[in-house]
Structure 1
Amino acid sequence: MEFDFSQIQKLVLDKITATPSPSELIIQDFAVIMIIASIMALISYKLKQPMIMAFILAGMIIGPHTPPFSLITHVEILHVFAEIGIILLLFVIGMEFPIEKLKNIGKKATIIAISEASGTFLAGFTASQLLGFSLFDSLFLALAISVTSTVIIMKVLEELGMVKDEATYLIVGIAVIEDILIISLLAVLQSVGASGGLSIVEVGTSIGLVIAFIVGVIVIGSKIVPRCVDIVGRTNHSELLIIGVLGVAFGLSFIAFKLDISVATGAFFAGVLIAESKMRVATKIIATPIRDMFGALFFISVGALMDIKQLPLFIIPAVILVVVSFAAKFLTVWAASRAQKLGKTTSLRTGIGLSSSGGELALVAAKGGADVGVTSSFVLPMVGAMTVITTFISPYVIKFGWKLTDRIEAKEKTKNP
């Protein structure tokens, strides 16, 4: 019996040249995304740079704005992945902040956090207006530059062996309050943006809705959700546990969305509720890999939406806003710390640590404006560029700042033995 190789060849060619189905294109896109992202992540690891930079650059490589052509066919699928990424990122972040921990943060950290967030927001809004940006562009840019990346700061401080320093504990406490303030303000801005106005009534309604949502979740949810999670956890089936807690995360995100509040807010407070359960450690362990994957997809989607051809148009304003952010954060934290009668060294280190870096929430804030259609097309890539800049310089700023404070402290000890 002879094989008809020409027949086989024809079948293979027909299969290769056939028009791919939508599902095939999605699988193809996903394969391209993961392969490019893994290559960039490996390069970033070898160069000892944060992974967030690798994922943003991977998105820029595969995106539709990078010549000669887009490596993916369904850019809109990235938006879906990005939304899931936002929910999972904020959900896992929320699990770090049980209600009891929030109560124990302390008066000093709360006062400094409020001073820093409000001072940086006002400085950013003023600078954006002076640069000629629109009202909503200025509001969302101001919110984005008010963010501090706790993850990057803690990694650098761990490398320096300064995790148990007084300033480090203070930085963590301030960052917790700041995250809650930023997420709540994002919810307000998105709600106002969706309604299309900035009248006193609209702003008041939006603030009232956000407060009601947060209070309702904490007061009612804390009595129901942790108990339900513990009941599921007692089955000792990890698949039941992860499905249950993700149901809470996406459920609260959906409720927040229907109330014109950021899905990030719903996801964050879902994490806060899960943190109240006895299963919080197990939940975090099994949820983290899922977060890492979709979190990477979120940063990749941000990179894909960055039009590098616009870079010359916004790079100077981006650098200006980075400088404004650094100065406003440092000065407000320094002043508030000294007002709380903290020492010079602790005040300096806290100011340097909190002013050195933006973070993932800055991108969430920028995308929040784009999601409700109130910001210009350049805002997201501009914040992406700012995030890359601050992420790159943050380790050097912290290391230099800590060494500088050591020298100042040594000189003071020499003068006053």
Structure 2
Amino acid sequence: MNHTASPFPSFFPQFFAPGDGPNDFIVQDFAVVMIVAAIMMAITYKLKQPMVIGYILAGIVIGPFTPPFSLVRDVGTLNVLAELGIIMLLFVIGTEFPIQRLKRMGKISFVVGISESIGTLLIVFFTAQALGFAFFDSLFLSLALSITSTVVTIKVLEDLGWIKSKSSTLVLGMLIVEDIFVVTALSVLQSFAATGGELSIPNLAVSLGVTGAFIAGILVLGSKYVPRIIDRAGKTNDYALLLIVILGLAFGLSFVSVGIGLSSAIGAFLAGVLVAESNSAAVARILTLPLRDMFAAIFFVSIGALMDVRLVPTFIIPAAILILTSFSSKLLIITGILVRAKFDNVTALRAGFGMSTARGELSLVVVKGGQDVGAVSSTILPLLGVITVVTTFIAPYVIRLGNKITLESKPEKDTMDSGGVG
């Protein structure tokens, strides 16, 4: 493996001496990731920007593609850290979705969430094909751009004080649907790519069957036994034991998921759902939140470091076209369906704007998943990185705009009407 020369070997010879493998550099690389992430997070906090932007920029700074030299010695370390970040990120997201909450999200949220996800996926896919992207590049890109960032969107709505409004309730329901849709679709796409992209009914049926059976088995059988085990660990009042049990569950199901040809993300997400079913869910969530924050930082920094910034000038125009395409697709589909479902124009537009902007954590997970199976080219990750930074930055302004342009209409109520989320 080639390592870019650094001007510091005379000061830190033990750090910059040649090594025999990634294990020689893992402590050094981990230290660099966390220190630079802390610095960039402080800067973005001062500038009142989302932390995701700071993490991605930190990754770009330390990455092997950024001149004059790389602060990270082994790219393999970044891939390992990113994989750990994916598992912890999806696990903690899953802890927010107990089965009963999934059932209560409402018919309208399910219908709109699935419709706009699939509709946006198809529109972006054909747009990417028209722009000259390869088949699998277009496929993974379209899935990545069909999902709204749950973390960024909820944070913006909370900061603006609109989290309890009717449109925000709809947005939250659709975010749940999108998260489940994209995790399931990613597993299917990875299995599809692993078979060489043979578009046959048997292959598709097998992929869907394996994914469906795994999800159903975990939710039906796992929900009967796993929460009891977690509660027994919780009753000991030994927080270290509880933490190790739930982490064992998260990484164990991720391992099983990978073993049957699915994404580690789906196993981690389902582990979180099972934890949410236990009586110890609140304590488990408190214990894992610091881990989530740490591994989320690692994931986003790793993604930034894996971006080849030298390619950015070549896809500024495609990035702008894809942003506008995904934004307009989501806005029109969501607003149109909600208006036909007898929601007032104010609520429909606000929900549409709320769901149309930010791309973030799961979008990057999707493209990283495509990269892991060798299905996407090296240009897709930096392309999505640019899209993520731009859409995350403009999200607060777009959501505010969605509220301003509807102020002349009748104000939305905080309570849901008969067409709302049940």
- With the length of structure 1 as denominator, give the TM-score of the two structures: 0.93
Whole-angstrom CA distance in 1 between matches of 2:12 and 2:285: 47
| Residues 1:386 and 2:387 aligned together | yes
1:337-385 residue CA offsets vs partner (Å, 9 max, x unmatched): 1121111111011001000211200000010100000111111111111
For 1:14 and 1:106, locate their aligned partners in 2 and report how far apart those are by CA, in whole Å. 59
Partner of 1:37: 37
Q: Structure 1 residues 17 and 332 mapped into 2: Cα distance closer, same or farther (>3 Å)?
A: closer
Report the Cα offset of residue 159 of structure 1.
2.3
Counterpart position of 1:7: none
**Residue type of the partner of 1:356?**
T
2:255: which partner in 1? Answer: 254
Q: Which residue of 2 aligns with 1:326?
A: 327
Matched, 1:309 2:302: no
- Provide closer, same or farther for how the CA distance between residues 236 and 314 of structure 1 changes in structure 2, counting only shifts above 3 A: same
- TM-score of the superposition, structure 2-length normalised? 0.92
Q: Quote how far apart the aligned CAs of 1:262 are.
A: 0.8
3-state SS of paired residue (1:405): coil
Deviation at 1:83, TM superposition (A): 0.5
The one-letter amino acid of 1:235's match is T
| Aligned counterpart, 2:400 | 399
Structure 2 letter corresponding to 1:37 = A
Residue pairs, 1:131-280, within 5 angstroms: 131-197=131-197, 198-280=199-281
CA RMSD of aligned residues (A): 1.7
1:46–1:29 distance in 2 versus 1, CA, 3 Å: same
Corresponding residue for 1:78? 78
Conserved? CA contact 2:87–2:265, under 8 Å: yes
- Report the counterpart of residue 120 of structure 2 in structure 1: 120
Task: Give the secondary structure class of the aligned counterpart of 1:123.
Answer: helix
SS in 1 for 2:407: helix
Query: Any unmatched runs of 5+ in structure 2?
Result: 1-9, 412-422
CA distance in 1, matches of 2:381, 2:47: 26
For 1:19 and 1:117, how far apart are their aligned partners in 2? 49
Counterpart residue number, 2:3: none
Aligned partner letter, 1:275: A
- Structure 1 residues 121, 15: closer, same or farther in 2, change over 3 A? closer
Counterpart amino acid of residue 391 in structure 2: T
| SS of the residue 1:96 aligns to | coil
Structure 1 Cα separation of the partners of residues 240 and 14 of structure 2: 38
Residues 57-91 of structure 1: per-residue CA shift (max 9 Å, x gap): 11101111001111111121011111010000000
Gaps of 5+ in 1: 1-11, 411-417
CA distance in 2, matches of 1:77, 1:71: 12
Distance 1:136 1:65 in 2: 24
Q: Matches of 1:152 and 1:248 in 2, distance apart?
A: 27
Structure 2 vs 1, CA of residues 236 and 393 (structure 1 numbering), >3 Å: closer, same or farther? same
Q: Distance in 1 between matches of 2:96 and 2:14?
A: 49
Structure richer in helix, relative to its length = 1
Amino acid at match of 1:301: S
Would the alpha carbon gap of residues 324 and 206 (structure 1) be closer, same or farther in structure 2, given more than 3 Å must change? same
Deviations 1:139-195 (A, max 9, x none): 100000011112222222222221221101111011101110111101100111112
In 2, Cα distance between equivalents of 1:229 and 1:393? 41
Per-residue CA deviation, residues 16-64 of structure 1 (Å, 9 max, x unaligned), is: 6994766563222222222211111110000000111111111101111
CA deviation after TM superposition for structure 1 residue 208, in Å: 1.0
Contact 2:151 2:361 in 1 (8 A): no
Does the Cα contact within 8 Å between 2:15 and 2:28 map onto a contact in 1?
no
Q: Which digits, 9 at most, give the CA deviation of each residue in 1:321-351, with x for residues without a partner?
A: 1100100000110111112111111101100
Larger Rg: 1
- Quote the residue 2:367 is aligned against: 366
Cα distance change on mapping 1:319 and 1:236 into 2, 3 Å? same
Query: What is the one-letter code of the residue matched to 2:204?
Result: V
Structure 1 vs Structure 2: percent identity of aligned residues? 51
CA distance in 2, matches of 1:347, 1:15: 61
Alignment of 1:104-115 (within 5 A): 104-115=104-115
Q: Contact 2:119–2:333 (CA<8 Å) still a contact in 1?
A: yes
Deviations 1:210-266 (A, max 9, x none): 111111110111011101100111110011001000111111111110111111111
CA deviations on 1:376-403 (whole Å, 9 max, x unpaired) are 1111111111000100000000011111
Q: 1:237 & 1:78 partners in 2: Cα distance?
A: 33
Instruction: Go from structure 1 to structure 2 and tell me whether the alpha carbon gap of 1:389 and 1:18 turns closer, same or farther (over 3 Å shift).
Output: closer
1:199 CA drift (Å): 2.1
Distance 1:48 1:18, change over 3 A: closer
- Give the Cα–Cα distance (whole angstroms) in 1 for the partners of residues 208 and 371 of structure 2: 20
Match of 1:91 in 2: 91
What amino acid does structure 2 have at the position aligned with 1:51?
M
* AA of the residue aligned to 1:75: V
Give me the whole-angstrom Cα distance separating, in 2, the residues matched to 1:88 and 1:155.
19
Give the aligned residue type for 1:144: A
Which residue in 2 is equivalent to 1:4? none
Which residue identity is paired with 1:122? L
Q: Which residue of 1 aligns with 2:417?
A: none
2:128 and 2:12 map into 1 onto residues whose CA distance is 56
Could you say what secondary structure the match of 1:409 adopts? coil
Give the C-alpha shift of residue 135 in structure 1: 1.0
**2: distance between equivalents of 1:32 and 1:15?**
16
